[in-house]
Amino acid sequence: MHPYSQLPDRNFWKKFVSDSPWRDLQLSDEPKFKLNASDRVVTAGSCFAQHISRYMKRVGLAPYIAEPAHTLMAEHGGNVESYGLFSARYGNIYTVRQCLELFRQAFGLIPMVEDFVEHETRWFDLVRPNVHKEGYASLHEAQADRAYHLERVKVMFETADVFVFTLGLTESWYNARSGHTYPACPGTVRGTFDPDEHRFRNFTCSEVVADLEALIGELKQVNPALKIILTVSPVPLVATRSDRNVLVASTYSKSILRAAVGEVEVKHDHVAYFPSYEIISHPASFGQYLAEDLREVTERGVAHVMDCYLSGFYELGAPASPRADVALAVPVVAAPPVEVPLPECDELFNFRP
């Protein structure tokens, strides 16, 4: 007898991986906790995280939308596409630092970031550059919409049962004057790049761990019962500003994120890891879930990820009735559900010359 003698098949590569079709593998281990169909699930993160809401709806689960579109916007042709992608209208959040800053703004721990630019008589929000594509009619309108957004984010975190956060990148851009983080380099999606004001950084593992621990701790203070599920996006970088080639830079970025999540997750009983990254990106998958560009994930791959997520965390039966207290957390003017488009990545704008 030795320490490996009575371990289950899943602990051995040949029994678990070599002898099984990849699609049949249940790569997510027994989770630390299970979710109920009535749980208010908040989603945030990179563009890959947009799939979660889409698949929840397919199986009769209602993702928690704390910032829905006003009914008048839908009736009068307003831009409602950015509503419902996530639980609030923050757009893609690629780094933990960006998410931490969003939380701190929402709860008044730091001032609301004022970074708005004018282009052809319309105003745009560089912290959410792709949320309102047509822009705002005035600076005041842009500021008011962001203030309302932060109010809804505060309510969202206070009333959620589960927070699913997909980490996307280590590379980011920040404002050297005020220190706030951008989801995309200014001048790519919106605004004008200023080398004196807009600076590049590539987070280290220790920095990501510190930001994750801070976010988890501060979430615990405002919502002690909140469960957290962390994932890492399997989608490689579309472009890198580092001195490495894009393939090596992608490996660095994803390795840092995966290592940081692994270090943090084991310390907290209410924090779980889900292996979307491994399902798509591990060499044992033979790249079968990648599109022709070897970067985008095919719908078949997304389906495998979401099947593992839903079967791992839920015991799915008849869809639950909406919770009575959920309605109190969203405006009474909430618009009817909007069909969620396929994920859109702000990072793609870094590919522009």
What are the pLDDT digits (tens) for 330-342? Answer: 333 333 333 444 4
**Residue 324 predicted with pLDDT over 60:** no
264-304 per-position pLDDT tens digit: 999 999 999 999 999 999 988 999 999 999 899 999 999 99
Q: Which domain holds residue 144?
A: 40-316+338-348
Q: What is the mean pLDDT of residues 233-243?
A: 94
- 51 found inside a domain: yes
pLDDT over threshold 90, residue 206: yes
Residue 28 lies in a domain: no
Say yes or no to pLDDT of 41 above 90: yes
In-domain check, residue 23: no
Taking only the tens place, the pLDDT of each residue in 80-123 is: 666 778 899 999 999 999 999 999 999 999 999 999 999 999 99
Contact between residue 245 and residue 239 where contact means Cβ atoms under 8 Å apart: no
Domain membership flag for residue 254 = yes
Residue the block writes with tokens 């997909």? 166
Q: Is residue 9 part of a domain?
A: no
Q: What are phi and psi for residue 173, nearest 5 degrees?
A: -125, 145
Q: What percent of the chain has pLDDT over 90?
A: 67
Q: Does a structural domain hold residue 25?
A: no
- Over 80: is that where the pLDDT of 345 sits? no
- pLDDT over 50 (residue 231): yes
| Mean pLDDT for all residues in the chain | 87
DSSP state of 12: S
pLDDT at residue 76 above 50? Answer: no
Residue 88: predicted pLDDT: 94
Q: Tell me which H or E stretch contains 311.
A: helix 299-313
238 and 297 in contact (C-beta within 8 Å)?
Answer: no
Segment 234-240 shows an average pLDDT of: 94
What CA–CA distances, in Å, run from 83 to 13, 68, 71, 221?
A: 43, 6, 12, 28
Asked, for residue 275, whether it belongs to a domain, the answer is: yes
State the average pLDDT over residues 10-30.
84
Does residue 1 belong to any structural domain of this protein?
A: no
In sequence order, which residues have a C-beta less than 8 Å from that of residue 173 and are 6 or more positions away?
181, 182, 184, 185, 186, 198, 199, 200, 201
- Amino acid type, 309: Y
Domain tally for the chain?
1
Residue 75 pLDDT > 90: no
pLDDT for res 131:
87
d(CA 303, CA 308): 9
pLDDT of residue 50: 83
pLDDT of residue 336: 35
DSSP per residue, 58-87? HTT-----SSPPBHHHHHTT---TTSSSSS
Q: Is the pLDDT of residue 217 over 50?
A: yes
Is the torsion defined by CA of 324, 329, 333, 338 positive or negative?
Answer: negative
Q: How confident is residue 350, by pLDDT bands cut at 50, 70 and 90?
A: low
